Amino acid sequence: MWRKPFFLWPMLSLPFFYLLGLTVMGGLGADPAKELVHSTGEYALWLLMLVMLASPVQFILRRRQLFLIRRSLGVACFAYVFLHVLLYIATYLEGSLQALIEDLIKRPYIIAGAFAFIFGLAMALTSNDYSVRRLGIKWKSLHKSVYLMVVAVCVHIIWQVKFDYGEVILYSTFFALMFLLRGPSIRSRLVIKP
C-alpha cells in the first residue's frame, strides 16, 4: 500500500514555524499584525492552488496516490485559513464580536472571506476516512465545495485590491485554468498513455 511521504507534514508546517520565529525575533516589520494576517492568508492561498493542481496532475499522470497528498494539502490549507481568521479577529478586531459584525456589514470582502472559511471548514472536518465511509457518495458532492471556496477566495482578494491588479489577475487566471483542465474534453487530450 502506498503511503504519504513522511516529510509532508513537517514541510507543510514550515511557514508556521517561520512566522513564529519572526514573531519571537521581532522581525515582522512596522505592522506585525498586518504581516501575520497577510502571510497566513497568502500561505493558505498557495496551498489552495496546490490542492487545485493536484487533481489535473493526478488525472494526467494516472497516479491515484496523489489523492492522499491532496487531502493533506487541503487540511493544511484550512489550518492556515483558520490561523488567518483567528489572527484577524485577535489583532484587527481585538476579539470583539461587535467589530466583526460591523466589518461584515462595511467590508464586502470580509463576507466573501467568511464564505470561503465556511466551505473550507466543512471540507476540513470531513477530510478523514471515517467521513468518506459515513457520507458515501455525498462526500464527493460536499468536497466539490472547493470550487465555491476558490470563487469566494478570488472575490475576497479582488475586492481588497485598490490599485495593482497584477497578482489578482495571475491568481484568477491560474484558478480559471484549473477549472478548464477539469473539463472532460480537455482532460482526455492530456492523459499520458502508459
Question: For residue 170, with 0-12 CB atoms within 10 Å meaning exposed, 13-18 middle and 19 or more buried, which class applies?
Answer: exposed
- Residue 194 has a pLDDT of 46
- 8 within a domain of the structure (yes/no): no
Helices 108-125/97-106 angle, 10° precision: 120
- 144 within a domain of the structure (yes/no): yes
Per-residue pLDDT of the chain (194 residues; tens, 9 = 90+): 445 566 788 899 999 999 999 999 988 888 999 999 999 999 999 999 999 998 888 777 776 667 678 888 999 999 999 999 999 999 999 989 899 999 988 899 999 999 999 999 999 999 988 998 999 999 989 999 999 999 999 999 999 887 778 888 999 999 999 988 877 666 656 555 44
- Residue 1 has a pLDDT of 40
- 3 within a domain of the structure (yes/no): no
What's the angle, vertex CA 37, arms to CA 31 and CA 43, rounded to 5? Answer: 125
- 2 within a domain of the structure (yes/no): no
- Residue 58 has a pLDDT of 77
- 5 within a domain of the structure (yes/no): no
- 117 within a domain of the structure (yes/no): yes
- 6 within a domain of the structure (yes/no): no
Number of domains in the chain: 1
Q: Which value, to the nearest 10 degrees, does the dihedral of the CA atoms of residues 50, 56, 60, 61 take?
A: 30
Question: For residue 81, with 0-12 CB atoms within 10 Å meaning exposed, 13-18 middle and 19 or more buried, which class applies?
Answer: buried
- 4 within a domain of the structure (yes/no): no
Domain range for 123: 14-190
- Residue 189 has a pLDDT of 62
Q: What is each CA distance from 47 to 112, 133, 194, in whole angstroms?
A: 18, 26, 29
Q: Answer for the pair 112, 155: CB distance below 8 angstroms, yes or no.
A: yes
